[in-house]
Structure 1
Amino acid sequence: METNAAGYRRSTGSPRGEARRLELLALVTDDLAVNGLVDFSLRRAARAAGTTHKVLLYHFDGVEDLLRQAVARLRQRRIDLAMTAVTEGPAEASLADRIRVVWPMLMAEEAGLARVLDQAMGLAMYDPARYRDLGRHASEQYLPILVGLCPPQWPERRKRGVAEMILGTLRGFLLERLISGEEDGVAAGFEALLRALEHEEAS
């Protein structure tokens, strides 16, 4: 048995304890999808999970750890939606075609994904000392997917560079769309990105 920073006993990962942890995490994730990150706290999470904050601290290393894991699960829902759409398309689709399919999934409001994940990135920018992991783990989830969408014959360094460009550009478009509401400008920028990818793949 371990203790966390707050002095509470921690689960050491037994199969039964892991099943309970995942059950609690699913309930907290569902609450985030509905109510967002505003006013998120350990006590709110405990109410959503039908338990106490002490039980949550037994399974998670504090509120930041719980929030990071719940946001990661929401982000995975977004990734799963996008990859389902990609796999339903033609196997020989170009990188630009695949990104065109992925883009609507990044904006999808299904299950509160876009709103909550935008809030998470906002926290990472507003208070990086406390919430840096919300942004860092986003890159860790997205980049392997984007690398996998690149042509398989490309060298790994080229795949990584193009994936970083796509991720950074799409993040910028999402932020611009959120802040300015400028749908036409973002759409034009997205089409420019696709042309750049077509040129990259043709070279």
Structure 2
Amino acid sequence: MNTSAGDGSPERAEYRRSAGSPRGEARRRELLERVTDDLMVNGLVDFSLRRAARAAGTTHKVLLYYFDGADDLLRQAVPGLRERHIGNAFATAAQGLGGGTLADRVRAMWQHLGEEDAGLRRVLDQLIGLAMYDPVRYAEPGREVSQQYLPALLSICPEDWSDRRRHEVAEMILATLRGFLVERVTSGDTAGVDAGFEALIRALEREEAAGR
């Protein structure tokens, strides 16, 4: 009887079916949580399936039953990492100002970004750098993490704006804040970043005033 776990084998197919059961899904989530813990401590550099297996307390073959390789595991772990440590706090910071201006809400969001867990910031910073160095492997998870900001950014734009305008402004805020985060890490020029952020705030104030 062939008991190999290679792609397409009877054993692998059977395990794949069991992995979709409630028990199998619980096991998949448990493994993903352990790998996410490892990313928080050791970052993305030199991430591999064998390293993930050690962190999860299992073998790389077991991980292959639940995930389609290291890249699939990484794509699932990185967004989950941000959700687990930030949750809805980012959106809450924006919505907490209620009747505040768009600029007020962006200022609150920027403050929240500065208070993020240091381990999380390191992983996200590494992800941006690795996406430029190796876009084939890292561009998609990097894009997914960035896109997690968009719903919160869209929600703080004035409700009477058109969908197109809200998306344009939200994308501008996202790209600008992301650039500031990279600049803050790579150059250490916090004064320059602060000055740039104030320029963004003035631009948002003008944008909102133009729509009145």
Instruction: With the length of structure 1 as denominator, give the TM-score of the two structures.
Output: 0.89
CA apart distance, 1:145: 2.1
Which residue of structure 1 aligns with residue 90 of structure 2?
A: 82
Unaligned runs of 5+ in 2: 1-5
CA apart distance, 1:54: 1.0
SS of equivalent to 1:11: helix
1:138 maps to which of 142, 145, 169: 145
CA apart distance, 1:37: 1.1
Which residue of structure 1 aligns with residue 3 of structure 2?
A: none
Give the AA of the match of 1:176.
E
SS of equivalent to 2:32: helix
Give the 5 Å matches for 1:158-177.
Answer: 158-177=165-184
Which residue of structure 2 aligns with residue 22 of structure 1?
A: 29
Moved more, 190-199 or 74-83: 74-83
Call closer, same or farther: CA 1:19–1:111 in 2, change over 3 Å: farther
CA apart distance, 1:139: 3.4
Does residue 116 of structure 1 match 2:131?
A: no
CA apart distance, 1:109: 4.6
Superposed CA deviations along residues 109-161 of structure 1, whole A, max 9, x for unmatched, are 51611101111111111111222212221233222221112112211101100
Which residue of structure 1 aligns with residue 207 of structure 2?
A: 200
* Conserved? CA contact 2:41–2:119, under 8 Å: yes
* Conserved? CA contact 1:33–1:116, under 8 Å: yes
Unaligned runs of 5+ in 1: 1-5
1:69 maps to which of 67, 76, 81: 76
CA apart distance, 1:188: 0.5
CA apart distance, 1:44: 1.2
Give the AA of the match of 2:89.
L
Which residue of structure 2 aligns with residue 11 of structure 1?
A: 16
1:26 and 1:124 mapped to 2: Cα distance?
Answer: 23
* Conserved? CA contact 1:11–1:59, under 8 Å: yes
Which residue of structure 2 aligns with residue 3 of structure 1?
A: none
Aligned-residue identity in percent: 64
Superposed CA deviations along residues 45-91 of structure 1, whole A, max 9, x for unmatched, are 1111111111111111110111111111122233533223334x331
1:110 and 1:139 mapped to 2: Cα distance?
Answer: 17
CA apart distance, 1:20: 1.1
Does residue 37 of structure 1 match 2:28?
A: no
Q: Which has the larger radius of gyration?
A: 2
CA apart distance, 1:201: 1.1
1:64 and 1:107 mapped to 2: Cα distance?
Answer: 29
